[in-house]
Structure 1
Amino acid sequence: MVLSRRCSLWLAWGLVAGLWACATAPARPRAPAGTALTVGVVQDGREPRAAPPALRRALEEALSARGIEVRWAGRRGWLPELGRVRATSARLAALAAGAQTEAVLLVEVAPSFYSQMNGRYRWSVGLRATWAPKGDLARSVWRDAEFAAHLRYDHEREEAAVTAVAGRAAALVGGLLDDVLVRPPAADGDDAAAPQEPRQARRRAPGLRAAKEGAPRSGEADGLLYFVLVDRFADGDPTNDGAVDPTDPAAWHGGDLAGVRAHLDWIAGLGARWLWLSPLYAGASEAVDGHGAFHGYWVYDHFAMNPRFGTFEDLAALVRDARARGIRVLLDVVVNHVAYDAPLVQAHPEYFHRRGPIVDWDDPVERTEGQVHGLPDLDQSRPEVYRLLLDSTVRWVERSGAAGVRLDAVRHVPLAWWARFNADLAMHFGEDFVRLGEDLDGNAEHLARTMAEGGFTHLFDFPLYFALVDVLCKGAHPGRLGAVLSLDRLYPDPNRLVTLLDNHDLPRIASVCGESRVSDALALLFGLRGIPSITWGTEVGLRGMGEPENRGDMVFERTPLYRKIASLAQRRRKSPALRRGATRIHSLGPTHLAWLRWAEGEAYVISLNTGTAPLHLEVQGHRVEAPPGVHWTPLPITPAPIAPARVRFALRGEVPVDGRLVVVGAGPELGSWDPTEAPTLGTEPVWVEVPGASVLEFKLAVERPDGQVEFEPGPNRYYFAPPGESEVVIAWGGRA
């Protein structure tokens, strides 16, 4: 029975001697007489095209040596349909649609220039070969490789590079077919017939199923995200370094995928469940105005890997090894811009907006069509640009098996575009495929709208970041943090926000807070809702107020901070309340904020005390100590539902400014800091209703007859609104 199942695919392929394929394989298997394959070959680049004749000849020889007749798709292996899409799965479908054979073979090559050394020009040629039964493309098998081509002359370009590696490429394709001939893939569900995986070729072509394997559910919040800027992490393969200078903070330092892979145990030891890698695209190498290109965000080719980081094989191996440790990998995707000197700018100037650098960052049109720091800004509304960005992203995920993507510069691309792009990613890889957006905006209501309307599964929580740093490190009132948490009601699920202390665009937490406060900052981060994230080097105290100093080289030393993070992550992982529980503010004072996290019969009180004296809190009959700093207290309680809060604002005294007096603040009930939308406070009090136990952040303001707005002097006000009715009596410029 097992033999007949294994051979069923060959019978479907027209092999009357299918049982022969199950016998012991000779050194080079040969297919039975009459075996034929429909073959398509694509050379990728800015515009996909037919592959050079040398590659086709080499493929014909490799297949002929195995007794397989080549039936070229279209014109010598090239179909226009293969150039209209970039995803391997879509190309396979196009190839199968016109095939007259029972199986198809797709060969994709992607040449990219690497460097010039010793008078020779080095190119890197990526290759993917995929075999699939025409009637069941999901049962495809594939193999990836990366080849180096050394050319003598500058005028020799992509076609010459592919020609130079044609023999090696054909040998790899032959090896793929040897695997298929010896052990054809079993049908889905035929576990008994499934052969062991002798080589990479036995893996399914990564697509919907591969991407979803091990991927976190979109609402999952039980892990730590660890961010690696690849060039700054570890150099695992010095042969791909190129020009490096570790003494120059703006230069390349040699980090690569092999280095990340070699330190996966370090990352796993912290308790990380997600690994976000900085962009890996082929991109600029030289610094511009003192700013280095090592970060990877200056893109040359969205389809190619930067050889400094390794190969697609290296990336796939890293993803596999990470998954074996319970870590899912996110790839950084750049859709807003390309490098200053990217070839695409000259080849297709129509792909770009022409507004020049952004001047008014609050202008929504300028923000989405202007140039960020002068970088050429892609016009995503053009169909060709959309196809380039979507197809390249799908291709990276398919080739790597990544569990999701981190999406760069969300605020600089129209929200409707993101909704379409994210929907297409979900269609390709499933709704649970992670789409983590970076919308660097401190307004919680803006962020909530982005999440709801943009199709993101997760967003970085910058409003919480700014509040956390202001309170813990800059002496702001604890109500600042409480007010942000009180706006969690605006999000579809606040546990899908990714919280942070710093990143490569922000000051290091050790620099902005001081080393003595980093431990409290970590305890605060892990005690808040959402998914905590750590930037490489936080665990060893890396410092830097701005770039490139905040992008220092990793040091692998198990410091007290490393152990602190590992302990917090383990404690959080064991607690449903901390991982995914509800949040409710318990109390607020001039130097403290306390909140509850609870779920499944357990609860924690998290207290932040910025003063010097210990505080004592009463929580449902339990006395809770709140010493200076951040403290977690477990309690055997389940908080009961509470009533909404109705707050009555009343004015005391005179207002020395003519016009309409308003109470304006955070949240839609107070106008979302827009005085024109805020409630009027006149001779009669004004009532505002919010969820019970909310912290309100507000000020008085006057809309003057000339249309100008004047805010009262002094800092923002904060009020803890208990369940039921309460009153706030306020005077212009005074305290409540």
Structure 2
Amino acid sequence: MHSQLLLILVAILSALPCTIAASASAWRNRSIYQVMTDRFSRSDGSSTSACQTSERDYCGGTWRGIINKLDYISGMGFTAIWISPIGQQINGRTGEGEAYHGYWPTNLYALNERFGTEQDLRDLVAAVHSRGMYIMLDVVVNHFANQGDIIVYSDFVPLSDSRYFHPKCDIDWGNQTSIELCWMGNGYVHLVDVDTENDFVVSTLETYMAALITNYEFDGLRLDASRNIRKPFWTKLCLAANVYCQGEVWAGDPELVCPYQEYMDGLHNYPMKEVATTALTSSTGNMADLINMASKMNTRCKDVTLFGTFMENHDNPRIGSFTTDPARLQNVAALNILADGIPVLYYGQEQALTGSNDPANREALWLTDYRTTGNLVPTITSLNRLRNHAASTSPTFLTTSAVYTLLSSSVIRVRKENLVFVLTNTGSGASAAMTMDGFAPSLDLVEVLTCTHARADEKGRLPLVLRGEPMVLYPESLLSGSGICAL
């Protein structure tokens, strides 16, 4: 009876007038901070509560905790947050730990009580909106989770029957049909694959998504496991949601990733992430590969400026597990924030956390005490401020494709309208002198990470000395009134 009442409530909510949707174009000028709810901030404000990532247990992060640390996020210049899935999960401990991450749903119409109450979630959305920020929700519709080999379909709400799921089979990751029809998971937790070819299932999920957006006023969706569901399904789901949708297709090949943009607004830019982290984290990295991938993505994707540009996330090792060199970490951050696309920064990247593969990359951020010095926070703040300023003063800045140029085997220049940034993988302590051309004659420039002033000569050439850190150059006259570097 309880489930029936919830279904009726959702149907009623879906019939209510929709709030003004945050469109794809509106999201383009956002900068997103990804929050893993259980690991970001506790309601009690603790900075000492233990969290052993290897245990894969809940550590106590909550929606109320996020509210308490929104100033930390907005203070770095982020204008949106992405939060973990909110639905009810498998209870208790499994052979793979607890469902702290949110990807083991059992009931879409109930909230994960470990994260807080319905009022806490509403208060979080309101607090985000009160700052002029957007909130993106991570949604899981590919599967429901079951502990053990006996699948209890009656526990899955609202799809409480085996006929709404694909028959069990193991995924062959080299076969797209198998990826879409077979099950993820293991002997501890089976991820029972939803039959998204079934019309009733599709309409039920559309109704659920429309109600979810209307009820809580989320501004965007992150679509988990997008590659595991046939492409046309996503068009219907995103139309029902009527907000920006960014999908997860975990692959490094543009030929595989780009076609999904015909069915949703944007994707995680996995191809760029994979070559960028290789190129920038070691002096042996191939910078030409980075340039070539940027060109491929711009050529083969419908609109790469609607992709999410990221360098680490909850599924991939942190940059700090590849290198702890501060200069290289700064170069990665510069590309993360300033490259084409919507910046997505995984919580803790600003603190230079070093966790490698899941679960080590899911540290409790409160153990850093949210420090804002001696880490990447100042760099990321300056980068976000510059991107936000450039976007607010030029209507074409965010839709103009960046132009990449290889200056040497270890140095590249990236130009995006009036912004020029120089990246290198040489690391701290290295020094290289060069002259860069292409500026207006006698143009006064500011390097915004150090607030150093420079002037191009009468032929538009600028001598540079790189010392391992990135250089981010912007015309001084265009910074007037921005507050950047006290201008």
Question: TM-score surpassing 0.5?
Answer: yes
- Equivalent of 1:448 in 242, 247, 258: 258
What is the rounded CA distance, in whole Å, between the counterparts of 1:86 and 1:312 in structure 2? 15
Aligned pairs (5 A) from 1:518-537:
518-537=329-348
Please tell me the residue identity of whatever aligns with 2:62. D
CA contact (8 A) 1:216 1:328 kept: no
1:516-570 Cα distance to aligned partner (Å, 9 max, x none): 2212211222231111111111222222111211101013222332222111111
Q: In the alignment, what sits opposite 1:604?
A: 419
Please tell me the residue identity of whatever aligns with 1:442. G
2:156 aligned with 1:348: no
| Counterparts in 2 of 1:345 and 1:471: CA distance versus 1, 3 Å | farther
1:480-531 Cα distance to aligned partner (Å, 9 max, x none): 1101111202222221111011000010111123242212211222231111
Name the SS for the 1:574 alignment partner.
Answer: helix
Name the SS for the 1:563 alignment partner.
Answer: helix
Aligned pairs (5 A) from 1:74-473:
83=8, 86-90=10-14, 207-209=17-19, 211-212=20-21, 215=22, 217-218=24-25, 220-236=27-43, 246-247=51-52, 249-341=55-147, 343-344=152-153, 347-358=160-171, 360-374=172-186, 375-426=191-242, 433-451=243-261, 453-454=262-263, 456-473=264-281
Please tell me the residue identity of whatever aligns with 1:481. L
2:473 aligned with 1:633: yes
Q: In the alignment, what sits opposite 1:194?
A: none
Q: In the alignment, what sits opposite 2:402?
A: 583
CA contact (8 A) 1:234 1:259 kept: yes
Please tell me the residue identity of whatever aligns with 1:461. N
What is the rounded CA distance, in whole Å, between the counterparts of 2:257 and 2:475 in structure 1? 32
What is the rounded CA distance, in whole Å, between the counterparts of 1:321 and 1:594 in structure 2? 39
Q: Per-residue deviation at 1:348?
A: 1.1
Please tell me the residue identity of whatever aligns with 1:591. S
What is the rounded CA distance, in whole Å, between the counterparts of 1:345 and 1:482 in structure 2? 51
Name the SS for the 2:335 alignment partner.
Answer: helix
Q: Per-residue deviation at 1:400?
A: 0.9
CA contact (8 A) 2:253 2:271 kept: yes
CA contact (8 A) 1:605 1:635 kept: no
2:312 aligned with 1:502: yes
Q: Per-residue deviation at 1:435?
A: 0.9
- Equivalent of 1:592 in 400, 411, 416: 411
Q: In the alignment, what sits opposite 2:461?
A: 623
| Counterparts in 2 of 1:541 and 1:589: CA distance versus 1, 3 Å | closer
1:21-40 Cα distance to aligned partner (Å, 9 max, x none): xxxxxxxxxxxxxxxxxxxx
Q: Per-residue deviation at 1:259?
A: 0.7
What is the rounded CA distance, in whole Å, between the counterparts of 1:44 and 1:272 in structure 2? 40
Please tell me the residue identity of whatever aligns with 1:608. L
Q: Which moved more, 1:470-479 or 1:603-612?
A: 603-612
2:378 aligned with 1:572: no
Q: Per-residue deviation at 1:438?
A: 1.2
CA contact (8 A) 2:24 2:265 kept: no
Name the SS for the 1:619 alignment partner.
Answer: coil
Q: Per-residue deviation at 1:217?
A: 4.5
CA contact (8 A) 2:202 2:233 kept: no
1:290-337 Cα distance to aligned partner (Å, 9 max, x none): 343110110010111011112222211111111111111111110111
Name the SS for the 2:402 alignment partner.
Answer: strand
What is the rounded CA distance, in whole Å, between the counterparts of 1:480 and 1:260 in structure 2? 38
Larger fraction in strand: 1
Please tell me the residue identity of whatever aligns with 1:482. I
CA contact (8 A) 1:407 1:435 kept: yes
1:248-297 Cα distance to aligned partner (Å, 9 max, x none): 64111111111111111111111111111101101113343334311011
CA contact (8 A) 2:146 2:192 kept: yes
| Counterparts in 2 of 1:584 and 1:472: CA distance versus 1, 3 Å | same
| Counterparts in 2 of 1:400 and 1:307: CA distance versus 1, 3 Å | same
CA contact (8 A) 1:275 1:329 kept: yes
Q: Which moved more, 1:273-282 or 1:291-300?
A: 291-300
What is the rounded CA distance, in whole Å, between the counterparts of 2:322 and 2:92 in structure 1? 30
Q: Per-residue deviation at 1:216?
A: 5.1
Name the SS for the 2:355 alignment partner.
Answer: coil
CA contact (8 A) 1:300 1:343 kept: no
Q: Per-residue deviation at 1:219?
A: 5.6
CA contact (8 A) 1:245 1:251 kept: no
What is the rounded CA distance, in whole Å, between the counterparts of 1:398 and 1:557 in structure 2? 36
| Counterparts in 2 of 1:588 and 1:410: CA distance versus 1, 3 Å | farther
What is the rounded CA distance, in whole Å, between the counterparts of 1:272 and 1:538 in structure 2? 13
Q: Per-residue deviation at 1:422?
A: 2.0
What is the rounded CA distance, in whole Å, between the counterparts of 2:319 and 2:219 in structure 1? 28
Q: Per-residue deviation at 1:579?
A: 4.1
2:370 aligned with 1:563: no
Name the SS for the 1:614 alignment partner.
Answer: strand
| Counterparts in 2 of 1:299 and 1:596: CA distance versus 1, 3 Å | same
Question: Where does the alignment leave 5 or more consecutive residues of structure 2 unmatched?
Answer: 440-458, 478-487
Name the SS for the 1:338 alignment partner.
Answer: strand
2:286 aligned with 1:477: yes
What is the rounded CA distance, in whole Å, between the counterparts of 1:364 and 1:493 in structure 2? 24
What is the rounded CA distance, in whole Å, between the counterparts of 2:198 and 2:182 in structure 1? 16
Name the SS for the 1:294 alignment partner.
Answer: coil
Q: In the alignment, what sits opposite 1:492?
A: 302
| Counterparts in 2 of 1:532 and 1:615: CA distance versus 1, 3 Å | same
Q: Between the two structures, name the one with larger relative contact order (CA 8 Å, sep ≥ 6).
A: 2
CA contact (8 A) 1:506 1:546 kept: yes
Please tell me the residue identity of whatever aligns with 2:330. S
Q: Per-residue deviation at 1:224?
A: 1.4
Q: Per-residue deviation at 1:90?
A: 4.5
- Equivalent of 2:349 in 533, 538, 541: 538
Please tell me the residue identity of whatever aligns with 1:506. N
1:13-65 Cα distance to aligned partner (Å, 9 max, x none): xxxxxxxxxxxxxxxxxxxxxxxxxxxxxx652xx25x9xxxxxxxxxxxxxx
Name the SS for the 2:379 alignment partner.
Answer: helix
Q: Per-residue deviation at 1:610?
A: 2.9
Q: Per-residue deviation at 1:413?
A: 0.6
Percent of paired sites with the same residue: 25
CA contact (8 A) 2:182 2:193 kept: yes
What is the rounded CA distance, in whole Å, between the counterparts of 1:476 and 1:345 in structure 2? 52
1:348-396 Cα distance to aligned partner (Å, 9 max, x none): 12222124221x2120111111112342111111123223322222222
| TM-score, length basis structure 2 | 0.81
Please tell me the residue identity of whatever aligns with 1:382. N
CA contact (8 A) 1:500 1:533 kept: yes
Q: Per-residue deviation at 1:614?
A: 2.9
| Counterparts in 2 of 1:617 and 1:390: CA distance versus 1, 3 Å | same
1:674-696 Cα distance to aligned partner (Å, 9 max, x none): xxxxxxxxxxxxxxxxxxxxxxx
Matched positions, count:
426
What is the rounded CA distance, in whole Å, between the counterparts of 1:532 and 1:633 in structure 2? 19
Q: Per-residue deviation at 1:573?
A: 0.9
CA contact (8 A) 1:219 1:496 kept: no
What is the rounded CA distance, in whole Å, between the counterparts of 2:26 and 2:271 in structure 1? 20
Please tell me the residue identity of whatever aligns with 1:622. G
What is the rounded CA distance, in whole Å, between the counterparts of 2:152 and 2:214 in structure 1? 25
